[in-house]
A and B are shown apart, each in its own frame.
Chain A
Amino acid sequence: MSSSPAELSGPRCFCRDCLVDLDARVKRCTSCGSPRLVRHHALPSLTLAHIDCDAFYATVEKRDNPDIVDRPVIIGGGKRGVVSAACYIARTYGVRSAMPMFKALDLCPDAVVVRPDMAKYVRVGREVRHAMQALTPLVEPLSIDEAFLDLSGTQRVHGMIPAKVLAKFAADIERTVGITVSVGLSVNKFLAKIASDLDKPRGFATLDQEDAVAMLADRPVSFIYGVGPATAEKLSQRGFRKISDLQRADETDLMKQFGGEGRRLWRLARGIDDRLVVADRGAKTISNETTFNEDIRDYATLEKILWRLSEKVSSRLKSSELSGTTVTLKLKTADFRQRTRSQSIQSPTQMAARIFDISREMLAKEIDGTAFRLIGTGVSALKPGNEAGDDNMLDRRSSHAERAMDDLRKKFGSAAVIRGIAYDGPEKPRT
């Protein structure tokens, strides 16, 4: 982002708690005594931020249950699930997100395990996002709890430099929503994202390109996003282990060796990244999946679960007025191998029955005695809901029936009416 001269005027140091401008040499706020100061020699020129909620799910749960505030908290489902989030106390035991639950409990047996309440997190995440959107229209959400914000050119509107706007934002979120966030402020996305991680939790870190070159030099190449084990290995074979190795290399030479990826690495190693912040990219896919308590091999059982997932996907499509033309089935085998199968359809759909029909057909082909631990289905290649071609002449009843069911559920709740396949039968007296 190019900065206009106007943006370059402003303080180089201020207090995060009382927002008073300070002399850059002070150790504490001369006004309120807080040690939490933001300091950078080019502070007004830093306009691109990455905001990340701290241990989001865990923080939300702690907010709502004061009894667990001082205890290690793990968000995750059942014995078989994985850790969705771990609070900072749990992390000191070595618990990490995406870790299998049993392993997390081995490391931290005293942890309080809370089942994820996605609806609640979505609600809180939305609140935070709305607050972000009040700062700038250029908000690019990366997930439910983090986003890039481009605040260039907003100094006049806000009457303060972006850094202050963000410090105020973080304090406001703490006060109004009751969770903490970490802010990374820099000149581009790559560096902003790095910065937000430097001072977590409840942090505020600044980074300009000059700082970045020095800071990145000693990190391994895998620190750059998109460099996984395979790329890292490839780079290492050619002698690029640390980012400093890339910084020393010649751009043309890297391009020769690694093509377009080489150029990207050369630029990122120097803290150069010109990707724009794109507001409201919208969802690319809507999906739902579930991990079982016990592995399942049996088609009928999987089919039944698949129906429920199809209904969930469909209801999300309908409520966000979307439809899609690609249906994807996802399976994970007991030995953690993932299988995904996709099928494109002629006319976009948002109907549970169609999503189910198509994913069921793909499921039938995968049934071969393999034990599965997870199943999911999703719809992508999304289009507006009114482009859905779900009215089929040959089967007009199906979409009529589904719409009628939707109406009933809206009125009487989701248990008001269910499809036969999801019906477990009346409670039978035990004999």
Chain B
Amino acid sequence: MKVTVERAQLLKSLSHVHRVVERRNTIPILGNVLIRAENARLSLKATDLDLEVTETLAAEVGTAGSTTVPAHMFYDIVRKLPDGSQIVLEADGDRSVMAIRAGRSRFTLQTLPENDFPDLAAGEMTHSFALPASDVKRLIDRTQFAISTEETRYYLNGIYLHAAGTATAATLRAVATDGHRLAQIDLKLPKGADGMPGVIVPRKTVGEVQRLIEDLEAEITIELSQGKIRFTLGNVVLTSKLIDGTFPDYGRVIPQNNDKELVIDKKDFENAVDRVSTISSERGRAVKLALSAGKLVLSVTNPDSGSATEELEVEYASDALDIGFNSRYLLDIAAQIEGEVAVLRLADPGSPTLVQDKDAKGALYVLMPMRV
């Protein structure tokens, strides 16, 4: 194999691909990136067995061929090579090294045979649709915070993507929850997504897709089957396994009849929660919300350090209510509100509260109170 490629392009592609590679690997080949040169193109591929990313870029291919080299080291080398240089990669089948040359620098990296490189074997994809990158980004940005990190409930360790809504207003819906909070975003169901299976996209995959989105104007093609999902963003293709589990019936935790409505300026609320929670030594202590006509009093008491109180003028006309929330969860949710005004619908101190944008925007959040 012999190929010449521009440093800036190679660096950009490697920066996308190498992130998938775990820093510590017990299987050596998983620490490597697969390099393949053919038809005036260079393709790079990395995998952690659950997720693989392939990126192709234009290159001057002298001799076609392929090999694998340690991903992080390759990335570091390319990163440190001078800007604007042309990089020559050369590997010959007999010796198990690849040479990297640029200007007066020369490196050799030990290779592993490309035949050993695992393939995710995506198989047949049953559904395919396209979404604007900005929609995919919003879908992820607004739900990611609610993904559970507890392995005991592995089926909550991702975003549940499925078709929902009614026949006339069908939606593509993303839901994430850890049992304490829940986020749900609806988009108009794109063509080709009809009858798609509900899939749970793992947290790591979600994070990688999010990082790969650079151009919000672009289109992202999503293909999926029962077991796999594939995102194509320009010349980057990310294929991932899905979480094999059943996402719980989240619909029943979304409150339908919460009759106490609190309308509040999002920024004021966020800042006030942030301020009073300073007093808690650890994030995650309860903030108490004391609601009465037209008034909200936020307070935190920390037996070790002191207390904090802040009063806000709000739109609230129901019976007085005291309710507590985990301050971090409350901040997380407040940060999701895109508009200037948030609406909280409450029932009682022991039941989930619904949080929405004043002009709903197809997003809703649910937060479980804490006992205070």
Query: What residues make up the interface of A, taking CB atoms closer than 8 Å to B?
Result: 343, 345-347, 357-358, 361, 383-384, 386-387, 389, 391-395
Contact = CB atoms under 8 A, between A and B. Distances in A.
22 contacts: A345-B152, A346-B178, A346-B180, A347-B180, A347-B326, A357-B152, A361-B151, A361-B152, A383-B282, A384-B303, A386-B286, A386-B372, A387-B285, A389-B180, A389-B326, A391-B180, A392-B180, A393-B177, A393-B179, A393-B180, A393-B366, A393-B368
A393 B253 contact: yes
A346 B149 contact: yes
B165 interface: no
Contact of A394 (B253, B350, B369, B372): B253
A385 B346 CA distance: 24
Contacts of A347: 180, 284, 326
B371 A386 contact: yes
Interface string B349-372: 010100000000000001011111
B179 A387 contact: no
Contacts of B124: none
A282 B286 CA distance: 22
Which 5 A-B pairs rank lowest in CB-CB distance, beginning with the nearest?
A392-B179, A393-B253, A394-B179, A393-B368, A394-B248
A384 to B, nearest CB: 8
B24 to A, nearest CB: 19
B150 interface: yes
A393 B152 contact: no
A391 B178 contact: no
B122 to A, nearest CB: 29
A395 B352 CA distance: 12
Interface class of chain B by DSSP: loop
Contacts of A383: 282
Nearest to A348: B284
B253 A387 contact: no
A103 B371 CA distance: 52
Contacts of B248: 394
A383 B177 CA distance: 24
Contacts of A393: 177, 179-180, 182, 253, 352, 366, 368
B148 interface: yes
Interface residues of B, number: 27
Nearest to B253: A393
A82 to B, nearest CB: 33
A343 B149 CA distance: 11
Given A343-B151, A346-B149, A346-B180, 14 more contacts: A345-B150, A346-B150, A346-B178, A347-B180, A347-B284, A384-B303, A387-B284, A387-B370, A391-B180, A391-B371, A393-B180, A393-B366, A394-B179, A395-B179
A393 B178 CA distance: 9
B131 to A, nearest CB: 28
A347 B284 CA distance: 9
A136 to B, nearest CB: 22
B331 to A, nearest CB: 15
B348 to A, nearest CB: 13
A392 B148 contact: no
A233 B192 CA distance: 71
A393 B371 CA distance: 14
A343 B153 CA distance: 13
A346 B178 CA distance: 9
Interface string B140-183: 00000000111110000000000000000000000001111010
A324 to B, nearest CB: 13
Contacts of A343: 151-152
B177 A391 contact: no
Interface string B259-288: 000000000000000000000001011100
A386 B149 CA distance: 22
Given A346-B178, A394-B179, A395-B179, A389 B150 contact: no
Contacts of A391: 180, 350, 368-371
Contacts of A358: 152
B7 to A, nearest CB: 42
Interface in B283-303: 284-286, 303
A399 to B, nearest CB: 10
A140 to B, nearest CB: 19
Nearest to B326: A389
Given A387-B286, A393-B182, A394-B177, A346 B148 contact: yes
